[in-house]
Structure 1
Amino acid sequence: MKYHSIDATLFVKNRSKFAAQMKPNSVAIFNSNDIYPVSADSSLPFAQHRDIFYLSGIDQEESILLLFPDAPYENQKEMLFLKETNEHIAIWEGAKLNKEQAFATSGIKTVHWLQNFEKVLAELMTYSDTIYINTNEHYRAVVETETREARFVKWWKEKYPAHSVAKSNPILQRIRSVKEPEEIALIQEACNITEKAFRRVLPFVKPGVMEYEIEAEMMHEFLRSRSKGFAYTPIIASGNSANVLHYIENNKACNAGELILMDTAAEYANYSSDLTRTIPVSGRYSDRQKAVYNAVLRVKNEATKMLTPGTLWKQYHIEVGKIMTSELLELGLLDKADVQNEDPEWPAYKKYFMHGTSHHMGLDTHDYGILTEPMQANMVFTVEPGIYIPAEGFGIRIEDDVVIQASGEPFNLMKNIPIEVDEIESLMNA
């Protein structure tokens, strides 16, 4: 891995939190992701399943984590099953983790080779009553490919039909949403790498530059800073492309007078950052662009203040909508009649700001968190309002990542990334 090693005590704590919420006499099993084929002998780069990483730190394919807190023997309470290195793997791919390295990474003493999994599990099933299966229940999830986890669930149900079934996901949704200090430090490192890349591109952007050239400059900075790359597919949208919320082609020239909406950020050690800035191709905002930009910035600043313990996500978005409505009235994009006659299910402001303001962030860019439950200290949220005006040929979004504090305003993990109009213009014209 490119990233520095993570102290195993983080994963020990995470497993302890999960085990504390398991039913008596139950087993929980977590699988790594597959390496997905493209065609012929090509495959996509491996990306570890975030749940097994969260609980073990193991960042290797064909790995299984088993938790059995009530096991009759100490060496059965936590187990890892890993792919064993053979001569062919050592020569062609490089050695996989050995048992000592796996213990150093995860803090788990009992490490088996993967070929012994079914034999070991058969014994544990005779001691247990319930198994926790790990299904993807994220509110944005759309899964069309059968995952390694799904294949395991299918196999296990056929093999052990008499056991009760429980779900890991509700536990993970809660414990993963509240970050440990070590996790916040890793997210901060991802934000710091993102800052370096953003500062790199500000003086680089000029009329005629291609969107993909900006993408390349950012990727250069990510890789040289121990990141694997973008935390999500980058959006570098000049001109009217900014009004396509998930524009990812990044293949157009950036023209004088246009704005570029850049929703681009680095990962670090599988943890995400999530940044959006909107900058002027020519190095200066027009008066109208500046007015809209500052309106979005004011909404972001006011929305950030509302991210405090006890806040409900749904009500928060209603309040942000009121602030945005006021700004749109000032900009002349809405009038009083628009607001008075609005559909409560789709308020007037949604014509220019149609997406949500905040989402959980962490190991996943859209991270785990139960949106019907109050916000808590040490949750990490994005704050990303926008105003999109196709008729005027531009869209503006501004986004930072913040940590909810026990009291007071959230801590902005991106507080050092340029955001004010004057600072951006100064850096672009240095």
Structure 2
Amino acid sequence: MRYEAIDSGLFINNRKRLITLLKPKSMAIVLSNDVIPSNADGTLGFRQNNDFFYLTGIDQEESILVLFPDFPDENFREILLIRETSDHIRIWEGEKLSKVQAANISGITKVLWVNSFESILRKFIFEAEQVYLNLNEHDGGDWSFQTRERRFINDFKQKFPLHKTERLAPLMRQLRVIKQPLEISLIQKAIEISKKGFYRMAKFLKSGVFEYELEAELTHEFLMNRSRGHAFHPILASGASACVLHYVTNNNICNDGEVILMDFGAEYANYNADITRCLPVNGRFSKRQKEVYQAVLRIMKIARNMIVAGNTMDKLRKDIGKVVESELIGLGLLSKTEVERQDPDAPLYRKYFPHGISHHLGLDVHDVGSRYETFKQGMIFTCEPGIYIPEEKIGIRLENDILITKKGNIDLMENIPIEIEEIEDLMNS
């Protein structure tokens, strides 16, 4: 792979922790993702199923993991099935992983070719009292799309209608939400690459530059540092476009006097960074731009200190809502009287700050984890307040990634410029 080899101990430990959560005499089946078609004979490329990667480290299509910790023959309690290289594949796509390579990556000794899956399933299925099957249960996911997992679940239930199935996703969420030390280091690597991209864009930005040129600079820096590219489609929104939360066309010109909102992040070894910075196109913020920027920065610093063990997302959102209200009153966007008379179920600040303050981060940019659970040591969250004023063509959002530890939290992006003086010095040095 493009990224450096990952210690197989991470995946071995992840499987061990999963096994402790399975019911007795259970089998778990986890599939890799599809290669998604585009048009004609083209594809959109391949991105591994994050649960599959978490358990195996295998970054290849047409792969299957079978776990059956109570199977009578101990040699078959962990099986990895991978795609065999044929002469056709070798000519058109190149070599796929060998069994030895797959074993070294995953730490699984029993590696078979994927075309033997049916015979393996027949060997196992009638010894299992229940079978754990996986599905994307993220509340923001597209459940209408027929993924490989959905197709397999439908086929499995048709073939084995009397077998009891269990949901694997809640167990994977329980595991993945707490980041292991090696995972944290991979996220820090993605952050470091993102920092390099930010510096490159800051040096390149000037009046007359197109947003897509900044995207090109960012992409170049990512690829030069062993990233496969963007963690998500980057937002490079100048002027009024910064008030569009998911503006991703990046087609407009950056004009003198505007502020450009940059929401981006590098992917590294399937792990992600998520950062937002705002830069003045001409290198200096106007008085009003500074006022809004400082308001957002004050909100961010308060919110960052609230992302600690024992807090909850709902409490964080409500507490920060009060801070946002105060800042909007200070900016002249709301009046104290209006706020006092508002419907508490429809707070007025949402007009200028319509999105959430934070989300889990990891293998997914909006990573698995319940918005209702208590914050715990080892979780990583974003902290991303914003104020958007379409009538003034100003949109400011700032975002850092925060790790919760036993002694408090650590801002993983504290060394990336964010203060107004730092931003202006960077752009004018």
Matching residue of 2:81: 81
2-side partners of 1:203 and 1:373: how far apart?
41
Write the distance in 2 (CA, Å) between the matches of 1:201 and 1:107: 40
Q: Separation in 2 of the partners of 1:17 and 1:368?
A: 17
Q: Does 1:262 align with 2:262?
A: yes
Give, in whole Å, the separation in 2 of the partners of 1:348 and 1:39.
45
Shift of residue 407 of structure 1? Answer: 2.4
Greater Cα offset, 84-93 or 265-274: 84-93
Contact 1:65–1:80, Cα closer than 8 Å, also in 2: yes
1:102 & 1:346 partners in 2: Cα distance? 53
Question: 1:21 maps to which residue?
Answer: 21
Matched, 1:295 2:295: yes
1:138-177 to structure 2, matched below 5 A, reads: 138-177=138-177
Using the alignment, how far apart are the partners of 1:74 and 1:346 within structure 2?
58
Cα displacement string for residues 207-258 of structure 1 (whole angstroms, at most 9, x for unaligned residues): 0100000000000000000001110011000000011100011000010000
Displacement of 1:85: 0.6
- Per-residue CA deviations over 1:86-131 (Å, capped at 9, x if unaligned) read 1111122111111110110000011111110010111101211100
CA drift of 1:17 comes to: 1.2
TM-align CA RMSD = 0.8
Structure 1 spans left out of the alignment, 5+ residues: none
Aligned residue number for residue 415 of structure 1: 414
Q: Relative to structure 2, which stretch is displaced further, 340-349 or 417-426?
A: 340-349
| CA distance in structure 1 between the aligned counterparts of 2:163 and 2:129, rounded to whole angstroms | 6
The one-letter amino acid of 1:108's match is I
CA distance in 2, matches of 1:141, 1:341: 37
Structure 2 distance, partners of 1:306, 1:158, is: 49
Report the alpha carbon displacement of residue 203 of structure 1 after superposing the two structures with TM: 1.6
List aligned pairs for 1:19-98, cutoff 5 A: 19-98=19-98
Q: TM-score, normalised by structure 2?
A: 0.99
The residue aligned with 2:335 is 335
Aligned to 1:320: 320
Give the Cα–Cα distance (whole angstroms) in 1 for the partners of residues 341 and 78 of structure 2. 60
Aligned equivalents of 1:420, 1:25: Cα separation in 2: 56
User: 1:383 maps to which residue?
Assistant: 383
Task: Tell me the distance in 1 between the aligned counterparts of 2:81 and 2:102.
Answer: 10
State whether residues 317 and 356 of structure 1, in contact with CA within 8 Å, keep that contact through their aligned partners in structure 2: yes
List 4+ stretches of structure 1 deviating above 2 A. Answer: none
Name the residue aligned to 1:350. 350
Normalised by the length of structure 1, the TM-score is 0.99
Q: What is the CA–CA distance in structure 2 between the aligned matches of 1:143 and 1:417, rounded to whole Å? A: 37
For 2:208 and 2:75, how far apart are their aligned partners in 1?
Answer: 63
What amino acid is the match of 1:61? E
**CA distance in 2: counterparts of 1:300 and 1:174, whole angstroms:** 28
Pairs within 5 Å for 1:115-130: 115-130=115-130
Q: Which amino acid aligns with 2:356?
A: G
Partner of 1:228: 228
Q: How far 1:291 sits from its partner (Å)?
A: 1.0
Does residue 361 in structure 1 map to residue 361 in structure 2?
Answer: yes
Question: In structure 2, what is the Cα distance between the partners aligned to 1:244 and 1:362?
Answer: 25
Of residues 135-144 and 273-282 in structure 1, the stretch that sits farther from structure 2 once superposed is 135-144
Partner of 2:373: 373
In the alignment, what sits opposite 1:253?
253
1:74 is displaced (CA, Å) by 1.1
Structure 2 spans left out of the alignment, 5+ residues:
none
Letter in 1 for 2:369: G
Contact 1:174–1:370 (8 Å) recurs in 2: no
Contact 1:308/1:406 (<8 A) preserved? no
- Paired residues for 1:394-413 under 5 Å: 394-408=394-408, 410-413=409-412
Question: In the aligned structure 2, how far is the partner of 1:108 from the partner of 1:211?
Answer: 46
What's the offset of the Cα at 1:350? 0.8
- 1:202 is displaced (CA, Å) by 0.7
| Cα displacement (A) at 1:144 | 2.9
After superposition, the C-alpha distances for 1:347-370 in whole angstroms (9 at most, x for unaligned) are 111111010000000000000112
- Percent sequence identity is 51
Q: Within 2, Cα distance between the matches of 1:40 and 1:99?
A: 33
In the TM superposition, residue 68 of structure 1 has moved relative to its aligned partner by 0.8
Q: Residues of 1 paired with 2:273 and 2:253: CA distance?
A: 26
Give, in whole Å, the separation in 1 of the partners of 2:370 and 2:132: 19
Amino acid in the other structure paired with 1:368: V
Q: Number of paired residues?
A: 429
Once residues 322 and 66 of structure 1 are traced to their aligned partners in structure 2, the CA distance between those partners, rounded to angstroms, is 49
How far apart, CA to CA, are the structure 2 residues paired with 1:322 and 1:76? 56
Give the 3-state SS of the residue equivalent to 1:343 in structure 2.
coil
Distance 2:77 2:298 in 1: 51
